[in-house]
Copies of this chain bind each other. A is one copy, B any other.
Amino acid sequence: MERNTQSLREHYLLAAISDAQWRALAPYLHTHHLRAGQNLFSQGDRAEAFYIVACGAMKLFRVSAQGAEKIMRMVRGGQSFAESVLFSDPPRYPVHAQAAEDSELVAIEREAYLRILRESFETCRAVMAQMTERIQAHWNEIEALSLHGAVPRVARYLLEQLALQGSPQLRLPAAKAQIAAQLGLAPETLSRGLRTLSESGAISVRGALVQVRDEATLRKTTQA
């Protein structure tokens, strides 16, 4: 973990703390290596730590009684997850977490980090800002789920990716079945959605490569 130390400390959850605090925290950091498909924790497990993804990708998901899987969030390198267990009481993980690829994580012990938080308003502020962002994202998702149909959801997802990847040459970051699960759709419906968007001229698709041809149309479709 020595090599990662510096980049880890640049993470927003750790950037604002003092050197002394950093040294105090160090014994409570642990790295984990997971192979694709391996479970990290299950929904309902007692939580002693939260995590930062060094590399790879984790999927956070829930499972319905019939076994259908809904991906709540994909977490990639540099992002953190399960910070919410810092403040829930009793601290339990509210989702399942599983490695979507071979991954490397840093676990941060809950109690130790809370001690840091107590002494650093800037870090508190970072945590709160992060939570705020998450809340906004949830509202958008709830709105999409209850107000819009399947095609707008796909369009919204593509715009998100566009913002994320910069280039109009998108490469889908996961298998389409996974993306479908993230959007709360059947894989077939995602397929048809992409087809519809193609036919409207907004995008063109070949395999996992999506070319955004008309962002304006795409943006309109979002709220249709």
- A residues with CB within 8 A of B: 62, 64-65, 68, 70, 72, 84, 86-89, 94-95, 117-119, 121, 124-125, 127-129, 131-136, 138-139, 141-143, 145-148, 184, 223-224
Contact = CB atoms under 8 A, between A and B. Distances in A.
A72 B128 contact: no
Contact of A132 (B87, B117, B124, B147): B87
Contact of A128 (B127, B134, B142, B147): B127
Copies of this chain: 2
B84 A147 contact: no
B70 A143 contact: yes
Given A72-B142, A131-B131, A138-B138, A147 B87 contact: no
Grouping DSSP codes into helix (H, G, I), strand (E, B) and loop, the A interface class, with mixed when no group exceeds half, is helix
A142 B132 contact: no
Contacts of A147: 62, 64, 68, 70, 184
A139 B72 CA distance: 8
Chain B CB count within 10 A is highest, among A119, A146, A147, for: A146
17 contacts: A70-B142, A70-B147, A72-B142, A84-B132, A84-B135, A86-B128, A86-B132, A87-B129, A87-B131, A95-B139, A117-B121, A119-B121, A121-B124, A124-B124, A131-B131, A131-B132, A142-B142
A124 B136 CA distance: 19
Nearest to A146: B184
